[in-house]
Amino acid sequence: MKGDFDLGSVNRDISEKRAYYFAGCLLMPKTTLLEYMNFELRKDPVNNPERLKGLNIVRIQTEFSTSYSAALTRLKELGLINRFHERRLYDEQKMYSSARLFEMINADERLLKPAEEIRMPARFLEYAIGNYENGYVPFSRLSKALSLVGIDASVFKKDVDKRETDAPSDDHS
């Protein structure tokens, strides 16, 4: 997976650690994750965490729509696996490859491919346009931000801004 890498081998600053922690809590709440593991995986993670294998991690990954690394990070944060078990699970992923693990359990492989779409929440669009309309950001910034998601900002351009760009230049050099 393009964005799936061994987080254990990367030096992360505190803001990245906080971001991973937040994402793990949001995508894999402790209670929901434990219920899934106990019911679906038929494992008691508290008493037998060493029984978790790479295929179990892929099942968690597909259930919670997250990366293999994010699943391992969350399990480690919750104290369900230690760093040695985490390392073994990363080694298992490398040995089989993510694609092979997905194939072994007939899982949807869309998590292994980068998303081809870019989405912008309506709230962000409203925020960006509102900042421009209130004069907090110039049109050039709005245009640049909206172009990142394929939106032509010219429909939001104020008449005042249009006159400024249409006015002849006084610079005759």
Q: How many domains are contained in the chain?
A: 2
d(CA 158, CA 166): 12
* Mean pLDDT confidence for 91-119: 72
Residue 160 lies in a domain: yes
For the cut 80, the answer to whether the pLDDT of residue 70 exceeds it is yes
Domain boundary (78, 93, 112) is at 112
Statement to judge: residues 21 and 106 lie in one domain = yes
* Mean pLDDT confidence for 59-71: 85
For the cut 80, the answer to whether the pLDDT of residue 43 exceeds it is no
pLDDT of residue 150: 83
Range from 51-55, 65-69, 103-107, 135-139 carrying the lowest mean pLDDT: 103-107
CB 105 within 8 A of CB 55: yes
Residue 35 lies in a domain: yes
Statement to judge: residues 137 and 72 lie in one domain = no
Statement to judge: residues 159 and 105 lie in one domain = no
Helix (H) / strand (E) containing 22 = helix 14-27
For the cut 70, the answer to whether the pLDDT of residue 46 exceeds it is no
* Mean pLDDT confidence for 109-129: 72
Statement to judge: residues 96 and 132 lie in one domain = no
Question: Using N-to-C axis directions, what is the helix angle for 30-39 and 54-64, rounded to 10°?
Answer: 130
Structural domain including 154 reads: 122-166
In the DSSP assignment, the letter for residue 51 is G
Percentage with pLDDT > 70 across the chain: 69
For 21, the token pair is 């922690």
pLDDT of residue 138: 92
Range from 1-5, 31-35, 82-86, 126-130 carrying the lowest mean pLDDT: 1-5
- Identify the top-confidence range among 12-26, 44-58, 118-132: 118-132
Statement to judge: residues 29 and 81 lie in one domain = yes
CB 111 within 8 A of CB 65: yes
Domain boundary (112, 132, 156) is at 112
The more confidently predicted of residues 169 and 15 is 15
Q: How sure is the predictor about 132, in pLDDT bands with cuts at 50, 70 and 90?
A: very high
Measure the CA dihedral 105/111/114/118, to 10°. Answer: 150
pLDDT of residue 120: 66
Residue 55 lies in a domain: yes
CB 157 within 8 A of CB 151: no
Statement to judge: residues 76 and 128 lie in one domain = no
